[in-house]
Amino acid sequence: MNKNLLNLNLYYIKNLLKTSKMLQKNTKTQHLLYKIVIVGDGGVGKSTMVQRLLTGLYLEQKITIGTDLATCDFEIDENTTVMLQIWDFAGEKRFRFFLPNYARGASGCLLCYDITRHTSFDNLIEWYNIVKDNAVDPVFILVGGKHDLADQRRSVEFVEAIEFKNKYNIAHIFETSSKSGLNNNIIFETLTKAIIEKRKGII
Ligand SMILES: Nc1nc2c(ncn2[C@@H]2O[C@H](COP(=O)(O)OP(=O)(O)OP(=O)(O)O)[C@@H](O)[C@H]2O)c(=O)[nH]1
Ligand SMILES: [Mg+2]
């Protein structure tokens, strides 16, 4: 065989191998999309928590009207990427009638309260019931916000929150602070991984 033809053949074989490796990698990579809802009384810090996740900064937020929508990408491992579609729901009572519709199709839910305001903890059951009745078996995570104020103004003890978690079979619980950043990323990562685990075999 002439030398040029041999080189050409080698070139084609090399490219063929490269393409087949790329195809193998692509077929293995999963790109998942999950909708999550963030609920809890007005002013507990939901939107600030989302902004902290998206920007890494503590940014003062205006009251949410209806719902705010954001997306965030997570690389779970080299074969799995997830886009979280985050529905940050208004806590004010006048927007409550929207929630049943917005909760539909949610795979996960962050149930949020403010550790310095006990009423926001007492009202969690209402939020929990609306989401549970309108989404199909979502993963719930309990989130106590404003942990930076724990020393001066805590009114919800962590043990109380653990009791709630156990009673309602909630997957995880975290206290967080958007001011210090405590547990901010891990809440969303844990929720994402728990959803993937729960949906294994369904997708
Ligand atoms: N100390 C402290 N204050 C916080 C923290 N997060 C939020 N806040 C304060 O709480 C206020 C309300 O925060 P938002 O994020 O708007 O609360 P929200 O839950 O989205 O409220 P709605 O949109 O009305 O449902 C903010 O203006 C901040 O002053 C936190 O981690 N620590
Ligand atoms: Mg808000």
18 has a pLDDT exceeding 70: no
Q: Where are the beta strands (DSSP E) in the chain?
A: 30-39, 67-77, 80-89, 108-114, 139-145, 172-175
43 has a pLDDT exceeding 90: yes
State whether the beta carbon of 46 lies less than 6 angstroms from ligand 1: yes
56 has a pLDDT exceeding 80: yes
**Ligand of minimum distance to the alpha carbon of 51:** 1
CB 52 within 8 A of CB 70: no
- Cα of 44 to ligand 1 centre, how many Å? 5
What CATH number is given for 30-202 in this structure?
3.40.50.300
**Percent of residues, the chain, with pLDDT higher than 70:** 85
Report, as an integer, the average pLDDT of 67-86: 93
State whether the beta carbon of 184 lies less than 6 angstroms from ligand 1: no
**Ligand of minimum distance to the alpha carbon of 127:** 1
State whether the beta carbon of 43 lies less than 6 angstroms from ligand 1: yes
The model's pTM is: 0.87
1 has a pLDDT exceeding 60: no
Task: Kindly list the strands in the beta sheet with 67-77, ordered across the sheet, starting from the edge strand earlier in the chain.
Answer: 67-77, 80-89, 30-39, 108-114, 139-145, 172-175
Phi/psi of residue 143, nearest 5 degrees: -130, 115
Site to substitute for ligand 1 among 46, 48, 88, 96, most atoms within 8 A of C-beta: 48
Rounded CA-CA distance 76/196 in Å is 10
State whether the beta carbon of 52 lies less than 6 angstroms from ligand 1: no
Residue 112's pLDDT is 98
Task: Supply the mean pLDDT for the chain.
Answer: 90
Structure tokens at 62: 């205006």
Residue-wise pLDDT for 176-199, tens only, equals 999 999 999 999 999 999 999 998
State whether the beta carbon of 144 lies less than 6 angstroms from ligand 1: no
CB 172 within 8 A of CB 138: no
201 has a pLDDT exceeding 70: no
* Nearest residue (CA) to ligand 1, atom 28: 60
Enumerate residues 6+ apart whose C-beta is below 8 A from 18: none
**Strands 139-145 vs 80-89: parallel, antiparallel or unpaired:** unpaired
Report, as an integer, the average pLDDT of 132-148: 97
State whether the beta carbon of 63 lies less than 6 angstroms from ligand 1: yes
Report, as an integer, the average pLDDT of 61-75: 95
Instruction: Report which ligand 1 atom has the smallest distance to the Cα of 61.
Output: 16
**Ligand of minimum distance to the alpha carbon of 95:** 1
Residue 103's pLDDT is 95
State whether the beta carbon of 175 lies less than 6 angstroms from ligand 1: no
Lowest mean pLDDT among 16-30, 39-53, 65-79, 173-187: 16-30
CB 121 within 8 A of CB 90: no
| pLDDT level of residue 8 (50, 70, 90 thresholds) | low
Residue 5's pLDDT is 53
CB 143 within 8 A of CB 174: yes
25 has a pLDDT exceeding 50: yes
Instruction: Report which ligand 1 atom has the smallest distance to the Cα of 145.
Output: 31
